[in-house]
Amino acid sequence: MHTFYKHEVKYYECDRMGITHHSNYVRIMEEARVDFLDKLGYGFDRIEAEGVVSPVVSVECKYKNPTTFKDLIEVEVFISHLSEMKFEFTYLMRKGERLVCEGRSVHCFSENGRPVQISKRLPELTALLQRNL
């Protein structure tokens, strides 16, 4: 499943040159990821209510073109990899037809500070994620 999330660049997200500061793309990725799981019907609030957290293991951004105040960034987000212990999201951020940033984030699953196998701990979530690869 590919979902689309829209983010309008805020004034405070821009640097002195009027360009969206690079750190904000990671925040936009998080917004899109949360939205993706909500649309899937199994959001982070539900995952955490069941005692599992999903911390970021790694994050990567490749900046292609700048954006500025009030630009509308459309984020295509999808799961690009799923294993027993982690999942990876890919983000393609565009302003119109122009690619502005390509990102990836990898997340593990843990409970009480210990890694968990998601298929055993949250089988319903696992089934949803597998169907949407």
CA–CA separation, 39 vs 110, rounded Å? 23
The reply to whether 15 belongs to the active site is: yes
Quote the tokens at residue 71. Answer: 């630009």
Kindly name the residue from 15, 38, 45, 71 that is annotated as catalytic.
15
- Name the CA dihedral angle for 22, 58, 128, 29, rounded to a multiple of 10 degrees: -10
Catalytic positions are: 15
